[in-house]
Structure 1
Amino acid sequence: MPIMRIAIGNPAEVGQADALKAALAEFISVLIFVFAGEGSGMAFNKLTDNGSTTPAGLVQASLAHGFALFVAVAIAANISGGHVNPAVTFGAFVGGHITLARSFMYWIAQLLGSVVACLLLKFSTGGLETSAFSLSSGVSAWNALVFEIVMTFGLVYTVYATALDPKKGNIGIIAPMAIGFTVGANILAGGAFDGASMNPAVSFGPAVVSWSWDNHWVYWLGPFVGAGIAATVYELFFINQTHEQVPSSEF
């Protein structure tokens, strides 16, 4: 059972050099990811004079987020595991791949990375709005919650299959690309309905900078529930329990 391998960790872990380096890597990767992803939306708004979102704009957002996440995961993979997402960190915690103490370090670093990215965007664009995630007309909070659960399930399931499974073999090489493709595809599916966050940090930065919190809970509860379900399903049915667990210092 995954729950049996959950580790709280030691408070002293927070001061360890490898843990601090991992948290810094998460901060930098999230900053890069959010700057490119949120920045692509701001660029679209500038080019269209804040016009309505079009299919081309949705494709632009999908490509920007997919490419940026591919890079962000790849550059942090050997240092922190390349989570770049509090929900992914939670999924790894549920499966016993990271301690709770280190998870908190990752979450703080990821949220700070997103806020700093949005502040840099606002400054460098001369004060343009960093729009918070919101629901489209006709989409209820519960509709969006299901979207976020399902999309994040797919994302974290992909993370497990390509990065966390000890049987992954050579497929681990394509993990950053697979993860980026999953997010890009989900944005094409859900972007028109709720923005397709799948990542509480991605939602948190714009919400802080624009100070807009409408339905913000959806972008936390949905990803965490989806991540928890994906981790539990993969651990229960697909990870051979006889394999040695990957040390938490690698995630």
Structure 2
Amino acid sequence: MADMVVELIPTPGLSVSQTGSPPKKRSLYEKSLQPCVAEFVGTLFFVFVGCVSVIENVEAGGRLQPALVHGLAVAVLVGVFAEISGAHFNPVVTLAVYLVGGLDVVMVFPYVLFQTLGGLMGAALSKALTSKKHFTKASGAAFSVVQVNEQVAGALLCEILMTCFLVIVVCLGAVNEKSRSPLISFLIGCTVIVNILAGADLSGVCMNPARAFGPAVVSGYWNYQWIYWVGPIAGALVAAAVLRLLLGDKKTRLYMK
């Protein structure tokens, strides 16, 4: 995603050189398997450091530490993995990037699978590293903000809107030719930080089913887990529709070209 011109052709990576020169011919491994490995490794470290920040911050409380850790982690990971896989690390980002023309359909399922496995491994490593007391008190960094049915509608809407915001930033900054930015890794990191600071008390602000699934499996905490799948998927679909119908350039927009 970062610092490069995006290539809207059926390949797993999103970019070519900044000079606009054609991409070098890549091997089958670099086209198919290496991007999946990058998604696994990137998601693993994102979920790992994110979970550790929540677990070890459980007694101090507050939103700042988890917000900064999640945002800075994703900014760094996007910066270094963008040229290998596009640096999604999130199933709903993969879905949205595909829908706006930035990823071949044959790579969607492998990306989602490796992201989910990376999230599971990252959560497992966070459990192995942190104290049992803190891990239990933080529910393994699973999202436990929603406690009663009255909170469900607000939490679901929060996940939809926050994910929509994030995905619009990703797609406009990395996929859409007219608006893409060399600062995309910074922009994505800032968006994650802002969203968590704004909505942590409403839903926890997951925006990423892989981030929700891994800790839920490892800790056995499944309360209202569906919110962290339905909300982000819906938000990604809304964002993709906005780009396809209104905000995208001529290559992305379906109508009014």
The normalised TM-score by structure 2 is 0.80
Question: Counterpart in 1 of 2:160?
Answer: 149
Structure 1 residue 41, shift from structure 2 partner: 0.8
Would the aligned equivalents of 1:135 and 1:141 in 2 still touch at CA under 8 Å? no
Deviations 1:181-231 (A, max 9, x none): 101100011111211000111101100101121111110111111111111
Three-state SS of the structure 2 residue aligned to 1:79 is helix
Correspondence list, 1:32-47, <5 A: 32-45=45-58
Would the aligned equivalents of 1:40 and 1:61 in 2 still touch at CA under 8 Å? yes
Three-state SS of the structure 2 residue aligned to 1:77 is helix
Q: Which has the higher helix share?
A: 1
Q: 2:249 aligns with which of 235, 240, 249?
A: 240
**Separation in structure 2 between the aligned mates of residue 98 and residue 162 of structure 1, nearest angstrom:** 15
**Separation in structure 2 between the aligned mates of residue 121 and residue 199 of structure 1, nearest angstrom:** 17
Question: Counterpart in 1 of 2:34?
Answer: 21
Would the aligned equivalents of 2:142 and 2:212 in 1 still touch at CA under 8 Å? yes
Would the aligned equivalents of 1:73 and 1:82 in 2 still touch at CA under 8 Å? yes
**Separation in structure 2 between the aligned mates of residue 195 and residue 126 of structure 1, nearest angstrom:** 22
2:209 equivalent to 1:209: no
**Separation in structure 2 between the aligned mates of residue 143 and residue 44 of structure 1, nearest angstrom:** 25
The normalised TM-score by structure 1 is 0.82
Question: Counterpart in 1 of 2:239?
Answer: 230
Q: 1:100 aligns with which of 98, 105, 113?
A: 105
2:74 equivalent to 1:69: yes
**Separation in structure 2 between the aligned mates of residue 96 and residue 85 of structure 1, nearest angstrom:** 17
What amino acid maps onto 1:144 in structure 2? A
Would the aligned equivalents of 1:36 and 1:64 in 2 still touch at CA under 8 Å? yes
What amino acid maps onto 2:230 in structure 1? L
Question: Counterpart in 2 of 1:125?
Answer: 130
**Separation in structure 2 between the aligned mates of residue 96 and residue 158 of structure 1, nearest angstrom:** 15
2:202 equivalent to 1:189: no
What amino acid maps onto 1:202 in structure 2? R
**Separation in structure 2 between the aligned mates of residue 118 and residue 153 of structure 1, nearest angstrom:** 25
Three-state SS of the structure 1 residue aligned to 2:85 is coil
Structure 1 residue 68, shift from structure 2 partner: 0.5
**Separation in structure 2 between the aligned mates of residue 160 and residue 19 of structure 1, nearest angstrom:** 22
Structure 1 residue 233, shift from structure 2 partner: 0.6
What amino acid maps onto 2:33 in structure 1? L
Question: Counterpart in 1 of 2:19?
Answer: none
**Separation in structure 2 between the aligned mates of residue 98 and residue 152 of structure 1, nearest angstrom:** 19
Three-state SS of the structure 2 residue aligned to 1:39 is helix
**Separation in structure 1 between the aligned mates of residue 198 and residue 187 of structure 2, nearest angstrom:** 17
Deviations 1:1-30 (A, max 9, x none): xxxx9x8x9xxxxx9422211011011111
Identity of aligned residues (%): 37
**Separation in structure 2 between the aligned mates of residue 132 and residue 240 of structure 1, nearest angstrom:** 38
Question: Counterpart in 2 of 1:249?
Answer: none
* Structure 1: unaligned runs, 5 residues or longer: 10-14, 244-251
**Separation in structure 2 between the aligned mates of residue 239 and residue 210 of structure 1, nearest angstrom:** 41
Structure 1 residue 118, shift from structure 2 partner: 1.1
**Separation in structure 1 between the aligned mates of residue 115 and residue 76 of structure 2, nearest angstrom:** 16
**Separation in structure 1 between the aligned mates of residue 41 and residue 220 of structure 2, nearest angstrom:** 23
**Separation in structure 2 between the aligned mates of residue 208 and residue 101 of structure 1, nearest angstrom:** 27
- Aligned residue pairs total 223
2:182 equivalent to 1:159: no
